[in-house]
Amino acid sequence: MSRTAADHTPASGALALSLRLRKDERNLLGPGKIALLGAIESAGSISGAARTLGMSYRRAWLLVEALNAGFKSPLVAASHGGRQGGGAALTENGASVLALFRALERKAAKASLRERRELARLLSD
């Protein structure tokens, strides 16, 4: 099941929670990379995903390279263009990483709901 960033948008007035996973000062996963993985899953290509997210193809490609280098096995498999055009798909590992990160987001959002509501009440309009 494909999900978009809109699926993680809190109700009006609620505070959004954003997760970022780091290891040894490296940003491994965060909202942008996860959105890119989801867009690749939906679009079937890096260029289509980049268009969907409003980023350049080069930026998307660099993020894919960083994602693939950061894990034991690649998260995205890309095929070169040609007559039929190129494409990209999440590998089994990529689909697992996307699903696990989204599960973390859901659990963190649920676990922090009370505190986020209290913080929202303390904010100025």
pLDDT in tens, 63-113: 999 999 999 999 999 987 666 667 999 999 999 999 999 999 999 999 999
Domains of the chain: which residue ranges? 25-122
Does domain 25-122 fall under CATH 1.10.10.10? My reply is: yes
Give the total residue count for the chain: 125
Please tell me the pTM assigned to this model.
0.83
The pLDDT tens digits of the residues spanning 35-66 come to 999 999 999 999 999 999 999 999 999 999 99
Q: What is the DSSP string of the chain?
A: ----GGGGPPPTTPPP----EEETTEEEE-HHHHHHHHHHHHHSSHHHHHHHHT--HHHHHHHHHHHHHHSSS-SEEEE--STT--EEEE-HHHHHHHHHHHHHHHHHHHHTHHHHHHHHHHS--
